[in-house]
């Protein structure tokens, strides 16, 4: 066994957010690469009509566990579901389950979070801030506690240009933010007043997600400073690179939804700084780094850390890619292997100017949506495009902040961690972004979105290419019609203008 495998051998682990994107991959990785592990406890929210274990069994039907199921059919025996909720004190565990956690759990991965940028303020505080406090409280009670890792985000301090591997001053304390949420709960405010209240509290922060993550980090620094806890900050987490399945993804959040929309021709323009760096990290590499981070935190004397150790898991310092190159690589591959779900040709105009974007958004999104919906009404079908573009517009509203800026991330601790691993652990838990081939990865990413989100099938590729050609012809025809229309309007306004006649019958020049 490698050093990391030896560390996890026989240990019982508690994972919150185990049914989420990162949680699924982390669970699968532990079960595949650390076969001598003890019990993995997954905290799952109670659901009417289903026991926690039934929810876990349903979780294991997901395709991310297919490889593991083939290699080790009995893997589920190592996983136990616990009914609970990070929003509740003591995680909402029953007395028996709480005692089981206290007696057995030695490692905690806190991955549960509300990742919606536009989450309601009180809800974001309850999940992202109070959840961390409840995890720390339960960890203090664990008899054999070795390490806990709280997953944050590299953008928790997005109000800064340079982000080092350290905990910055919290924008507000855990006690104070809870007092404010209590005031909001007791007050009979309208939704509009609540939003203004939240905006006033957040100040420079662009959304409740990054703001509450910053507070959560401050909570760890204050309440877990004498404990073996670490903060792990991944940047934009995208589909897997290799494990357990290349390109695996299960959500339309952020980049995945944008690429899916572009691939099927729904998204036609975006406000993006093409020269800015987009910091992407594949999900399987994120989990490998996460496991290594926990190992290092647990096996390093606390005195070596000045504060709670922070790991910025980002790609920019060693292997950056710009938005323009990212889009071009994805588009090049999508032309070779177009989606079967496409409704229009994949052609997107990236612009930095907000004014230009608003104009293009009007002509490329709103007008086509209204025309298509009008046609749908004429033929007796349900109009859906205007509603769809309202959702897309809402998404643009929350992601534009991150598409038009870039940050100077530092990740010396992550680089040193990679250098510290022996060759066996580097092969078992690869996470160095330095060796990532973006051209090859973008093929994997686009193919994964087509397969797992758009549900495209390889046998339909021939039909997809025929459809792609037809949509291309339509696209060229539409452009020609539009250009002709603009030229005609311009001519009518200038050269083709008629002048009133004089009394003698001649016209004014």
What pLDDT is recorded for position 50?
80
Percent of the chain with pLDDT over 90: 72
Cα angle, residue 264 at apex, residues 468 and 337 outer, rounded to 5°:
50
What pLDDT is recorded for position 492?
79
User: What does pTM read for this prediction?
Assistant: 0.92
Count how many Cα atoms sit within 13 Å of the Cα of residue 181 in the half-sphere of its side chain: 20
Strand partners, 230: 149
Report which of residues 192 and 316 the model is more confident about: 316
Q: Do residues 126 and 186 make contact, with C-beta atoms less than 8 angstroms apart?
A: no
Mean pLDDT to the nearest integer, 362-387: 89
When mean pLDDT is compared across 159-163, 187-191, 481-485, the lowest value belongs to 187-191
Residue 234 belongs to a domain with what CATH number?
3.40.50.720
Could you write out the three-class secondary structure of 65-128? Answer: HHHHHHHCCCHHHHEEEEECCCCCHHHHCCHHHHHHHHHHEEEEEECCCCCCCCCCHHHHHHHH
Which CA distances in Å does 380 have to 368, 370, 409? 18, 15, 53
What pLDDT is recorded for position 40?
96
Domain membership flag for residue 188? yes
Task: Report the C-alpha gap between 86 and 94 in whole angstroms.
Answer: 13
Residues 6+ apart with CB under 8 A from 424: 2, 3
Domain count, the chain: 1
Q: Which tens digit of pLDDT belongs to each residue from 403-431?
A: 999 999 999 999 999 999 999 999 999 99
Domain membership flag for residue 156? yes
What pLDDT is recorded for position 73?
86
What pLDDT is recorded for position 504?
56
Domain membership flag for residue 360? no
Domain membership flag for residue 369? no
Q: Do residues 41 and 105 make contact, with C-beta atoms less than 8 angstroms apart?
A: yes
Mean pLDDT to the nearest integer, 318-344: 93
pLDDT of 385 over the 80 cut: yes
Q: Do residues 254 and 236 make contact, with C-beta atoms less than 8 angstroms apart?
A: yes
Domain membership flag for residue 164? yes
pLDDT of 500 over the 80 cut: no
pLDDT of 277 over the 80 cut: yes
What pLDDT is recorded for position 12?
96
458 membership: H or E segment, kind and range:
none
Q: Which tens digit of pLDDT belongs to each residue from 23-74?
A: 999 999 999 999 899 999 999 987 777 888 888 888 899 989 999 899 888 8
Residues 6+ apart with CB under 8 A from 177: 125, 129, 201, 215
Residues 6+ apart with CB under 8 A from 232: 149, 150, 151, 152, 289, 290, 293, 311, 313
**pLDDT tier, 496 (very low <50, low <70, confident <90, very high otherwise):** low
Q: Which tens digit of pLDDT belongs to each residue from 339-351?
A: 999 999 999 999 9
pLDDT of 493 over the 90 cut: no
Mean pLDDT to the nearest integer, 335-364: 93
pLDDT of 137 over the 90 cut: yes
- Lay out the sheet containing 147-151: strands in order across: 79-83, 40-44, 12-16, 105-110, 147-151, 229-234, 310-313
Task: Report the C-alpha gap between 216 and 133 in whole angstroms.
Answer: 8
For residue 50, give the DSSP letter. B
Q: Do residues 479 and 356 make contact, with C-beta atoms less than 8 angstroms apart?
A: no
Residues 6+ apart with CB under 8 A from 116: 124, 209
Task: Report the C-alpha gap between 363 and 439 in whole angstroms.
Answer: 32
Domain extent, residue 208, equals 3-247+279-320+407-436
Q: Do residues 480 and 488 make contact, with C-beta atoms less than 8 angstroms apart?
A: no
Q: Which tens digit of pLDDT belongs to each residue from 387-408?
A: 999 999 999 999 999 999 999 9
Orientation angle between helical segments 255-263 and 385-403, nearest 10 degrees: 130
Domain membership flag for residue 389? no
Domain membership flag for residue 101? yes
**Summary mean pLDDT of the chain:** 91
Domain membership flag for residue 51? yes
Q: Which tens digit of pLDDT belongs to each residue from 199-228?
A: 899 999 999 999 999 999 999 999 998 899
**pLDDT tier, 303 (very low <50, low <70, confident <90, very high otherwise):** low
What pLDDT is recorded for position 509?
52
pLDDT of 233 over the 60 cut: yes
Q: Which tens digit of pLDDT belongs to each residue from 421-477?
A: 999 999 999 999 999 999 999 999 999 999 999 999 988 899 999 999 999 999 999
């Amino acid at each position: 066994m490698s050093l990391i495998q030896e560390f996890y051998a026989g240990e019982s682990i508690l994972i919150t957010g185990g049914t989420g994107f990162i949680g699924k991959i982390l669970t699968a990785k532990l079960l595949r690469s650390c076969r001598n592990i003890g019990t993995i406890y997954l905290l799952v929210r109670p659901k009417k009509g289903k026991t926690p274990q039934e929810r876990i069994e349903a979780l294991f039907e997901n395709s991310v566990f297919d490889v593991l199921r083939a290699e080790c059919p009995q893997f589920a025996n190592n996983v136990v579901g616990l009914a609970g909720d990070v929003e509740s004190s003591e995680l909402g565990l029953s007395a028996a389950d709480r005692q089981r956690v206290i007696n057995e759990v030695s490692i905690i991965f806190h991955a549960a979070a509300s990742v919606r940028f536009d989450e309601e303020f009180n809800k974001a505080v309850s999940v992202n801030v109070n959840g961390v406090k409840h995890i720390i409280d339960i960890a203090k009670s664990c008899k054999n506690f070795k390490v806990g890792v709280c997953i944050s985000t590299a953008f928790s301090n997005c109000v800064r240009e340079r982000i080092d591997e350290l905990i910055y001053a919290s924008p507000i304390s855990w006690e104070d933010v809870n007092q404010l949420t209590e005031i909001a709960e007791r007050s009979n405010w309208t939704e509009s007043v609540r939003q203004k209240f939240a905006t006033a509290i957040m100040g420079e922060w662009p959304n409740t997600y990054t703001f509450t993550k910053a507070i959560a980090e401050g909570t760890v620094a204050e309440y877990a400073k004498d404990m073996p806890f670490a903060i792990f900050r991944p940047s934009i987490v995208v589909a897997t690179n290799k494990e357990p399945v290349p390109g695996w993804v299960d959500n339309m959040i952020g980049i995945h939804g944008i690429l899916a929309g572009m691939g099927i021709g729904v998204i036609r323009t975006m406000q993006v700084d093409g020269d800015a760096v987009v910091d992407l990290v594949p999900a399987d590499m994120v989990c490998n780094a996460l496991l290594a981070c926990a190992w290092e935190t647990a096996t390093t004397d606390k005195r070596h850390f000045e504060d709670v150790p922070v790991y910025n898991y980002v790609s920019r310092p060693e292997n950056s890619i710009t938005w323009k190159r990212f889009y071009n690589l994805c588009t090049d591959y999508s032309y070779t292997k177009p989606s079967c779900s496409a409704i229009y040709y994949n052609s997107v105009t990236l612009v930095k100017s907000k004014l230009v974007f608003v104009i293009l958004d009007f002509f490329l999104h709103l007008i086509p949506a209204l025309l298509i919906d009008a046609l749908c009404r004429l033929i007796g079908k349900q109009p859906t495009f205007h509603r769809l573009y309202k959702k897309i517009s809402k998404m643009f509203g929350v992601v534009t902040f991150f598409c038009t800026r870039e940050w100077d991330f530092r990740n010396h601790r992550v680089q040193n961690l990679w250098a510290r691993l022996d060759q066996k652990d580097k092969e078992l838990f690869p996470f160095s972004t330095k060796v990532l081939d973006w051209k090859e990865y973008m093929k994997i990413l686009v193919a994964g979105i087509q397969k797992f989100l758009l549900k495209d099938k390889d046998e339909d590729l021939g039909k997809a290419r025929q459809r792609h050609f037809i949509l291309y012809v339509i696209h060229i025809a539409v452009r020609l019609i539009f250009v002709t229309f603009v030229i005609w309007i311009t001519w009518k306004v200038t050269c083709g203008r008629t002048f009133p006649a004089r009394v003698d019958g001649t016209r004014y020049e």
